[in-house]
């Protein structure tokens, strides 16, 4: 058993409360588990889930991606103990836009995404997490499958200089987790043990060490202006990923930003928000902590830099609220792989590029208009993006006059739009319809990766600089009911048709050979005509003033591709191919639901809660990817929160009370085997929080 400790300090120089983009203070309309934020137009026609830090602090949160899996229709890809990659309604990776601190973007370094954006932010720095589902919100950058806004803590508006501190102290079993902090956050987690598999405890190599530094200062030049300067560093060491060919030897990430806010302006222009930022990721991977290091050393070093900014203007014309602005980002990525083989007294070394001075530039212009007519609320948004990309790597594979990797530069003009309507039938019930078109350009991996096993299957992948952008046409329908005595409930259904979906196809072995040992061949990213996603979710929360209450949620996603080639494998060789009709898309989670029950005691200061999660079998799996069925499971967790006073609270609990051996459908296999990467077994935790 080891200990957890956290202390964070924020500085504030006098400035006044920040208001919404319309110059009117924000209000929060609770439709739990959906929370909608806005003013005048109180509802959005699409789903938004907002989680406050009070909710995050209830549990033992080691990884933001892990916590996001508690949200309906949000899952994650686990490859190790940390860095769980979020998936929303089957959309993943760059199909999701993940923003930090109101618009800062981070480009991951690892080709296998052992370091998604969520891994570069610690849960203790989070003020709230906002998940916007679908391609409807267009002011946060190109929106395709959804947006995750990680809103970090900022200096709070006070009228005199103050220093505030918050601290957390606690421990968690099973992981042997440790956090130690004095204006620095540190994490030191050992390997975790799953529930009993065939009567035995099984330990997985999932240990990791992380520490970070955070400094923020806010000040106000005048009563209606505020400036916040932020600097963050997060450092990872020896982060193990049993489902990947290498581990994270080191990761050094730096994030810098300056925010400027102007409020209470006279005339039609009410607000102005400007942000500039830079994030720099230096990522070093190798297999030095594995037995294979003695004969084969693999080392990959990647540098990824994202520089950008945004400006947003809020205007009000009678009942029309208009937000307009622009954002820009420049992504630079450079990486190499070195393989050294030692056999029979001889040493051979091969060095190759993963990316070579690859660059993507995106400039977007957006506009959003909201208004209300009687019982109807309307929202419309448009966005235009100009996307340019290039790379200095010009690997050419030519056969019969066909070039597979020649011209590396590309230019796209992408158009996105959304429209929504909310009809209020009464003060308690309303129906919302949202229609959207979201377009995203291919990412660095899809355009320029050079022969590395980065997919779900066992192939080396080759980028395709001439890929076309993906376009998601989606419709959402949501019925919401909210009553002070009956509680809040909602049900949502969605349908998505993605054109020019980025998939993969195998290249002939006579054309190109893989570079990774043990893979079946080389696949290249290509566009297919279209795929479809559909699904639903629902939720109910009891009235907030009840002593005994609870909530329930459920969700389901279904994805299919009309026609795809399946490569037939005999042993370790690809021996043929066949066409599969109506195949499932890979890595789509099954139906699941969660029931939470709580009881408020000691005038609401002591609140125990029991959580029961049920996940169904997943039999709708991709034949083309040889995806396997996964069994369903049930979990029982228990937490208790005690609020001592306004400055102190304690949380404690037991996760996986029954010590169930289980794994999520999206968990990757243990590398080099068909073994499953199980989730942690039973663990206990206690946390003490101080706010000064």
pLDDT category at 167 given cuts 50, 70, 90 is low
Q: Name the least confident of 154-158, 446-450, 553-557.
A: 154-158
- List the beta bridge partners of residue 339: 298, 350
**Residue 397 confidence (pLDDT):** 64
Q: State what percent of residues in the chain have pLDDT above 70.
A: 87
Average of per-residue pLDDT across 94-119:
94
Residue 474 to residue 48: CA distance in whole angstroms: 16
Question: What phi and psi, each to the nearest 5 degrees, are found at residue 190?
Answer: -85, -175
Average of per-residue pLDDT across 411-430:
96
Does the CA dihedral 339-239-460-445 come out positive or negative?
negative
Q: pTM value?
A: 0.90
- pLDDT of 9 > 80? The answer is no
**Residue 125 confidence (pLDDT):** 83
Q: In whole angstroms, how far apart are CA 10 and each of 39, 61, 690?
A: 28, 22, 14
Average of per-residue pLDDT across 282-309:
94
Average pLDDT, the chain: 87
Average of per-residue pLDDT across 80-104:
94
Average of per-residue pLDDT across 522-530:
94
Residue 125 to residue 100: CA distance in whole angstroms: 11
Question: What phi and psi, each to the nearest 5 degrees, are found at residue 294?
Answer: -65, -30
Residue 671 to residue 22: CA distance in whole angstroms: 52
Instruction: Identify which of 245, 323, 252, 327 has the alpha carbon closest to the alpha carbon of residue 289.
Output: 245
Q: Name the least confident of 158-172, 350-364, 396-410, 526-540.
A: 158-172
Choose between 367 and 646: higher pLDDT. Answer: 367
**Residue 169 confidence (pLDDT):** 53
Residue 641 to residue 601: CA distance in whole angstroms: 10
**Residue 403 confidence (pLDDT):** 60
- pLDDT of 91 > 50? The answer is yes
pLDDT category at 366 given cuts 50, 70, 90 is very high
Average of per-residue pLDDT across 59-67:
84
- pLDDT of 436 > 60? The answer is yes
Q: Name the least confident of 346-355, 437-446, 560-569.
A: 346-355
Tally the residues of the chain. Answer: 692
Choose between 649 and 34: higher pLDDT. Answer: 649
- pLDDT of 181 > 70? The answer is no
Q: Please report the domains of the chain, with CATH numbers, ordered by start residue.
A: 4-691 (2.40.170.20)
- pLDDT of 20 > 50? The answer is no
- List the beta bridge partners of residue 452: 461
**Residue 234 confidence (pLDDT):** 92
Q: What is the pLDDT of residues 209-226, one digit of tens each?
A: 888 888 888 888 888 899
Residue 142 to residue 228: CA distance in whole angstroms: 25
Q: What is the pLDDT of residues 600-652, one digit of tens each?
A: 999 889 999 999 999 999 999 999 999 999 999 999 999 999 999 888 889 99
**Residue 4 confidence (pLDDT):** 34
Cβ pair 48, 37 in contact under 8 A: yes
Choose between 122 and 595: higher pLDDT. Answer: 595
């Amino acid at each position: 058993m080891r200990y957890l400790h956290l202390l964070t300090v924020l500085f504030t120089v006098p400035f006044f409360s920040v208001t919404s983009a319309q110059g009117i203070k924000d209000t929060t309309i609770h439709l739990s588990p959906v929370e909608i934020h806005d003013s005048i137009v109180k509802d959005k026609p699409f789903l938004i889930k907002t989680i406050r830090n009070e909710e995050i602090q209830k549990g033992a949160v080691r990884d933001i991606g892990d916590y996001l899996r508690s949200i309906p229709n949000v899952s994650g890809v686990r490859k190790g103990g940390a860095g769980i990659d979020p998936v929303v309604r089957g959309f993943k990776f760059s199909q999701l836009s993940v923003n930090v601190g109101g618009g800062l973007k981070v480009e991951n370094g690892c080709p296998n995404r052992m370091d998604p954006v969520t891994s570069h932010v610690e849960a203790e720095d989070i003020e709230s997490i906002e998940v916007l589902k679908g391609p409807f919100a267009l002011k946060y950058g190109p929106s395709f499958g959804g947006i995750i806004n990680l809103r970090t803590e900022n200096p709070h508006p006070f009228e005199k200089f103050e220093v505030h501190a918050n601290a957390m102290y606690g421990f968690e079993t099973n992981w042997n987790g440790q956090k130690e902090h004095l204006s620095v956050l540190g994490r030191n987690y050992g390997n975790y043990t799953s529930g009993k598999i065939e009567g035995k405890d099984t330990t997985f190599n999932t240990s990791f060490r992380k520490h970070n530094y955070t400094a923020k200062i806010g000040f106000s030049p005048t009563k209606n202006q505020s400036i916040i300067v932020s600097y963050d560093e997060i450092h990872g060491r020896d982060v193990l990923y049993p489902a990947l060919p290498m581990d994270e030897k080191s990761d050094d990430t730096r994030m810098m930003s300056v925010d400027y806010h102007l409020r209470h302006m006279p005339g039609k222009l009410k607000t102005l928000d400007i942000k500039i930022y830079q994030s720099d990721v230096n990522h070093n991977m190798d297999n030095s902590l594995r037995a294979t290091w003695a004969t084969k050393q693999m080392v990959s070093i990647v540098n990824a830099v994202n520089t950008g900014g945004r400006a947003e203007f809020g205007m009000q014309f009678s009942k029309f609220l208009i937000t307009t602005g622009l954002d820009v980002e420049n992504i630079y990525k450079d990486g190499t792989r070195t393989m050294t083989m030692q056999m029979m007294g001889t040493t051979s070394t091969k060095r190759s590029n993963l990316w070579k001075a690859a660059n993507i530039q995106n400039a977007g212009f957006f506009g959003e208009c909201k208004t209300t007519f009687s019982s109807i609320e309307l929202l419309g948004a448009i966005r235009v993006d100009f996307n340019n990309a290039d790379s200095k790597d010009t690997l050419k594979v030519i056969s019969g006059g066909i070039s597979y990797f020649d011209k590396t530069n590309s230019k796209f003009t992408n158009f996105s739009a959304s429209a929504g309507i909310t009809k209020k039938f009464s003060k308690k019930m309303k129906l919302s319809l949202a229609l959207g078109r979201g377009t995203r350009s291919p990412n660095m991996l899809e355009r320029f990766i050079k022969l590395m096993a980065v997919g779900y299957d066992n192939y080396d992948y080759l980028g395709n600089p001439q890929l076309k952008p993906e376009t998601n046409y989606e419709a959402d329908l949501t019925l919401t009911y909210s009553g002070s005595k009956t509680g809040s409930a909602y049900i949502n259904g969605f349908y998505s048709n993605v054109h020019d979906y980025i998939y993969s196809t195998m290249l002939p072995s006579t054309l190109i050979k893989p570079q990774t040992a043990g893979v079946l061949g080389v696949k290249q990213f290509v566009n297919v005509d279209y795929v479809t996603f559909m699904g639903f979710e629902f939720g109910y929360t009891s009235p907030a003033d009840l002593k005994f209450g609870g909530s329930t949620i459920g969700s389901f996603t279904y994805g299919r591709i009309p026609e795809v080639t399946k490569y037939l494998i005999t042993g370790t060789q690809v021996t043929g191919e066949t066409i599969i009709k109506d195949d499932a898309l890979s890595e789509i989670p099954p139906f699941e639901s969660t029931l939470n029950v709580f009881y408020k005691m000691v005038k609401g200061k002591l609140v125990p809660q029991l959580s029961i999660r049920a996940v169904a079998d997943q039999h709708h799996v991709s034949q083309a990817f040889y995806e396997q069925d996964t069994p369903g499971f049930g979990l029982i967790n228990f937490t208790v929160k005690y609020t001592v006073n306004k400055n102190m609270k304690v949380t404690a609990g037991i996760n996986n009370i029954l010590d169930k051996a289980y794994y999520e459908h999206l968990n990757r296999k243990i590398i080099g085997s068909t073994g499953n990467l199980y989730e942690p077994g039973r663990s206990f935790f206690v946390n003490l929080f101080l706010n000064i």
